[in-house]
Amino acid sequence: MAEELDPFKIAQIQLDEAAEIMDLDKQVHAMLREPMQSVTVNFPVRMHSGATKEFTGFRVLYNNARGPGKGGIRFHPAENIDTVKALAAWMTWKCALADIPFGGAKGGVIVDTKRMSETDLEALSRQYIRSIGSFVGPHTDVPAPDVYTNPQIMAWMADEYSKMHGRDEFGMITGKPLELWGSQGRFDSTAVGGMYVLREAAKLRKMNLRKARVAVQGFGNAGHFALDLVTKMFGSKVVAISDSGGGVYSPGGLDYKKLQEAKAKGSVDDYRGGQKITNEELLDLDVDVLIPAAIENQITKANADKVRAKMVLELANGPVTPEADKILFERGIPSMPDFLVNSGGVIVSYFEWAQNISGYYWTKEDVYSRLDTIITRSFRDVVNAQREHKGRKINYRMAAYTIAIGRVAAAMKARGWY
């Protein structure tokens, strides 16, 4: 049978596998297989040309047993409800694993922002948040930036939501600019959190990161920060990088500034001084650490047996499919799960929300220190859970799932939902 790559089906398969390991109550298992609320909105936007264009958007609240929904907003031409549902499910487990007081949610709009002017983008952002405004809020569901959205877009959305309610509601969304009470340390928090996980995983595996060769797939927000931080924090050598336009490989290491210059022209494929490679070829390189930081479904049944990295650090959401997971595990290649590795973003979003609610703001050093404490604790929880189930030989992902699902199920039971 061909491997199923539908993201929501993957999320359900992962849940089912963990539920079997846990002997999860059948009632709560059934409830957790589907989101609590899925909203599709169709809304018109008056473009700067004077024409009116119709757009479709989504917002999914997967589970709020442990607190308000939490999850980003994607602007992408290929956005669809199944991807949003999967990401909302993964956000549920991510927040539970980090043990922060949120449930999981996600949103998106089908749009190619590269074809839009800033004026049109602002109009779209404001109209989308107005369309889902009755479903989100600081104590209901708190959005954040994601693919092709940014702090400026969050600022427009916060302003529009505040206008709707007749008062400032900055706590309704995170990832805002500092001028509108965003948090210090938020912009690079996903990558910083991933580096803390890498540090702990390297200690566990007795890997010398100073001598490590690293390949990074993706040069977006998480990928380009990971490229910079893995060198600055550990002295590792990044030998390969790629983006949607192609990639480059250099055994002697890549220059960060030159990569930025190449990206500014369009793609890291324009980098001079290395060998051109594809995204697929990057995954097969003989490196110590492979960091998928692009999109889902990159390591699959078709290529998992070709991966030669000693460790996979999943900075993207869902980059490894269930069948690939099994292949990597059988080959002895640890894959640090996405909802642990990339949880730094939502952890610092929680900090931002808490600061907005309290009106008391922290320094960048406070933010990084608290992030380190939470994500290191989560890593150790996963390692301990994996050891407890060693007789069943479960991987780190399933260990993380048993923790997260257990916490959500406990909250549901305490609230009398089953």
Q: Does the CA dihedral 92-97-102-107 come out positive or negative?
A: negative
And the tokens for 381? 């929880």
Q: How does 105-133 read in b/e, with b if 16+ C-beta sit within 10 Å? A: bbbbbebebeebeeebbbbbbbbbbbbbe
Q: What does the pLDDT look like over 115-156, one tens digit per residue?
A: 999 999 999 999 999 999 999 999 999 999 998 999 999 999
61-92 as b/e, with b when 16 or more CB fall inside 10 Å? Answer: bbbbbbbbbbbbbbbbeebebebbbbbbbbbb
Q: Is 332 exposed, middle or buried (0-12, 13-18, 19+ CB in 10 A)?
A: exposed
With bands split at pLDDT 50, 70 and 90, how would you rate the model's confidence at 244? confident
Residues acting as catalytic residues: 106
Each domain of the chain, given as residue ranges in start order, spans: 34-171, 189-336
34-171 sits in which CATH class?
alpha beta
DSSP H helices in 249-363: 256-265, 279-283, 322-330, 338-341, 344-358
The CATH architecture assigned to 189-336 reads 3-Layer(aba) Sandwich (3.40)
Structure tokens at 391: 């007789």
Would you say the CATH fold of 189-336 matches that of 34-171? Answer: yes
pLDDT digit string (tens) for 175-210?
A: 999 999 999 998 899 999 999 999 999 999 999 999
Instruction: Decide: 343 and 194 in contact? Cβ < 8 Å.
Output: no
Q: Per residue in 312-352, pLDDT tens?
A: 999 998 899 989 999 999 999 999 999 999 999 999 999 99
Cβ count within 10 A of residue 411: 18
Supply 169's token pair. 């509601």
Q: pTM value?
A: 0.93
Name the band, by pLDDT with cuts 50, 70 and 90, for residue 67.
very high
